[in-house]
């Protein structure tokens, strides 16, 4: 079991010297994304865990990469704080992988993606050098770009060994509300522009298709789920503002809905997401509904305030012919950003990858000259 950063660095230097390609593993939950990694050996980090430093007064916490989000949540909760990062999947994933994959979930609406929570990190490059970016305190922004560079690099620039994150105060009160929604373009348009006009944005706000609503225990019809938080006065103002949207009556819903939503993608044959201007949300929702209609049991959810929609095709919809339809759905013309999350192995090659552009290759070569870290993970031709 690896117990120090120096040991990880030594292991990587040794691999670089021998040209041994390494697959980096956090807690191993998400390797099932089927990304085409060509590795000779694994570098597991689950044993490299634990909170190194926690300064509640500064709202900062430093943890080793293999620490689970659940462990961080427990420590923060004891101090009335939380890490407002809820990546898809579960809290049994590691903080290192969450940063490496830039994974986020419904609360990105209120708090942003991992790079917005990250104050600093330590990582070991593919040459075995230990590098630190950012800091352990909020004011220190030196090296910020290094921090951003590593976020979402899927372990191709370095192995993240330690992460410093910004925590938030737990809201004094919080509530989840749900509204049954009509999937009619003008109605959706009015609702989403009303949401964008709210003075206080919700902590989370997701539109769920009827199929997904039923999967997570709600009546089978499209629903807008909203999570609000704050003091009593702010909560009252937020409820009034939502009621003023004239979209119908919001009803109290179960807070565990967010956990079930995060877990809903497990075992899907394919999940992908499209991002574009939030003002186009209603339009893209309606279009997306048509593109997944041929897949039995397919579902979608999206954030009207972030402008991202995520689609999933369940394994049991993968009847003969589906892969071709899936590839067509993935490759149809689209002017936003398309991200594959889990795809059948052969489908990865149809999605555009930035891994081969000159800038990306230059950065990769600077950090991992022999290309030994997670080779292939960002695209087959990498």
Ligand X SMILES: Cc1cc2nc3c(=O)[nH]c(=O)nc-3n(C[C@H](O)[C@H](O)[C@@H](O)COP(=O)(O)OP(=O)(O)OC[C@H]3O[C@@H](n4cnc5c(N)ncnc54)[C@H](O)[C@@H]3O)c2cc1C
Tokens (6 digits) for 51: 């909170």
Given 204, 330, 374, 378, the residue binding ligand X (CB under 6 A): 374
Q: How far is the CB of 272 from ligand X (least distance, A)?
A: 9
User: What whole-number distance in Å separates Cα of residue 36 and Cα of residue 70?
Assistant: 29
Nearer to ligand X, 59 or 367 (CB): 367
Q: How far is the CB of 95 from ligand X (least distance, A)?
A: 8
Q: Does 27 bind ligand X (CB under 6 A)?
A: yes
Q: Which stretch binds ligand X (CB under 6 A): 188-196, 210-218, 249-257, 265-273?
A: 265-273
Q: Does 30 bind ligand X (CB under 6 A)?
A: yes
Q: Does 2 bind ligand X (CB under 6 A)?
A: no
Q: How far is the CB of 359 from ligand X (least distance, A)?
A: 20
Consecutive H or E run containing 178: strand 173-180
Handedness of CA 272, 65, 54, 144 (dihedral sign): negative
User: What whole-number distance in Å separates Cα of residue 65 and Cα of residue 196?
Assistant: 36
Q: How far is the CB of 264 from ligand X (least distance, A)?
A: 8
Query: x-or-dash pattern for ligand X, window 328-347, by CB under 6 A?
Result: -------------x------
Within 75-134, which residues bind ligand X (CB under 6 A)? Answer: 87-90, 93-94, 96-98, 100-101, 103
Pairing, β 22-25 against β 41-44:
parallel
Q: Which residue has the tokens 């009803």?
A: 251
Cα 9 to Cα 64, 131, 302, 330, distances in angstroms: 14, 10, 40, 39
User: What whole-number distance in Å separates Cα of residue 155 and Cα of residue 177?
Assistant: 37
**Distance in Å from the first CA to the final CA of the chain:** 30
Given 9, 45, 224, 257, the residue binding ligand X (CB under 6 A): 45
Q: How far is the CB of 379 from ligand X (least distance, A)?
A: 13
Nearer to ligand X, 271 or 284 (CB): 271
User: What whole-number distance in Å separates Cα of residue 345 and Cα of residue 59?
Assistant: 41
Within 291-320, which residues bind ligand X (CB under 6 A)? Answer: none
Within 54-73, which residues bind ligand X (CB under 6 A)? Answer: 65
Q: How far is the CB of 233 from ligand X (least distance, A)?
A: 35
Ranked by CB distance to ligand X, the top (closest) residue is 93
User: What whole-number distance in Å separates Cα of residue 379 and Cα of residue 247?
Assistant: 43
Residue 267 DSSP one-character state: T
Given 54, 111, 154, 367, the residue binding ligand X (CB under 6 A): 154
User: What whole-number distance in Å separates Cα of residue 266 and Cα of residue 262?
Assistant: 9
Q: Which stretch binds ligand X (CB under 6 A): 172-180, 195-203, 242-250, 264-272?
A: 264-272
Q: How far is the CB of 376 from ligand X (least distance, A)?
A: 11
Longest pairwise C-alpha distance within the chain = 65
Nearest Cα to Cα of residue 302 among 215, 230, 205, 157: 205
Residue 277's Cβ-count burial label (10 Å; 0-12, 13-18, 19+) is exposed
Q: How far is the CB of 96 from ligand X (least distance, A)?
A: 3
Binding footprint of ligand X on the chain (CB under 6 A):
24-31, 45, 65, 87-90, 93-94, 96-98, 100-101, 103, 154-155, 159-160, 265-266, 271, 341, 374, 377
């Amino acid at each position: 079991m690896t117990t120090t950063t120096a040991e990880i660095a030594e292991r990587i230097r040794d691999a670089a010297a021998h040209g041994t390609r390494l697959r980096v593993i956090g807690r191993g939950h998400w390797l099932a994304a089927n990304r085409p990694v060509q590795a000779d050996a694994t570098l597991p980090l689950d044993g490299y865990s634990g909170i190194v430093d926690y300064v509640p007064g500064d709202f900062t916490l430093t943890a080793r990469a293999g620490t689970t989000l659940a462990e961080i949540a427990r420590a923060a909760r004891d101090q009335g704080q939380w890490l407002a990062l809820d990546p898809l999947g579960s809290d049994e994933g590691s903080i290192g992988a969450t940063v490496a994959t830039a994974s986020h979930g419904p609360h990105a609406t209120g708090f942003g993606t991992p790079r917005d929570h990250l104050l600093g990190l330590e990582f070991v490059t593919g040459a075995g050098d230990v590098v630190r970016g950012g800091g352990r305190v909020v004011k220190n922004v030196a090296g910020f770009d290094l921090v951003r560079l590593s976020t979402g690099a899927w372990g191709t620039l370095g192995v993240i060994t330690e992460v410093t994150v910004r925590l938030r105060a737990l809201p004094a009160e919080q509530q989840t509300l749900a509204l049954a929604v009509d999937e009619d373009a003008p109605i959706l348009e009015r609702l989403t522009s009303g949401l964008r006009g709210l003075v206080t944005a919700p902590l989370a706000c997701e539109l769920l298709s009827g199929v997904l609503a039923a999967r997570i225990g709600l009546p089978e019809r499209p629903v807008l789920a909203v999570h609000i938080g704050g003091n009593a006065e702010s909560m009252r103002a937020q409820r009034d503002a939502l009621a003023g949207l004239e979209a119908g009556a919001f009803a109290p819903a179960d807070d565990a809905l967010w956990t079930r939503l995060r877990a809903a993608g497990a075992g899907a044959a394919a999940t992908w997401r499209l991002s574009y201007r939030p003002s186009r949300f209603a339009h893209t929702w309606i279009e997306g509904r048509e593109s997944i209609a041929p897949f039995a049991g397919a579902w979608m959810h999206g954030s009207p305030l972030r402008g991202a929609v995520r689609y999933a095709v369940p394994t049991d919809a993968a009847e003969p012919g589906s892969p071709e339809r899936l590839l067509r759905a993935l490759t149809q013309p689209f002017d936003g950003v398309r991200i594959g999350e889990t795809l059948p192995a052969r489908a990865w090659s149809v999605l555009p990858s930035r891994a081969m552009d000159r800038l990306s290759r230059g950065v990769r070569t600077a950090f991992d000259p022999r290309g030994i870290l997670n080779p292939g993970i960002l695209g087959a031709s990498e």
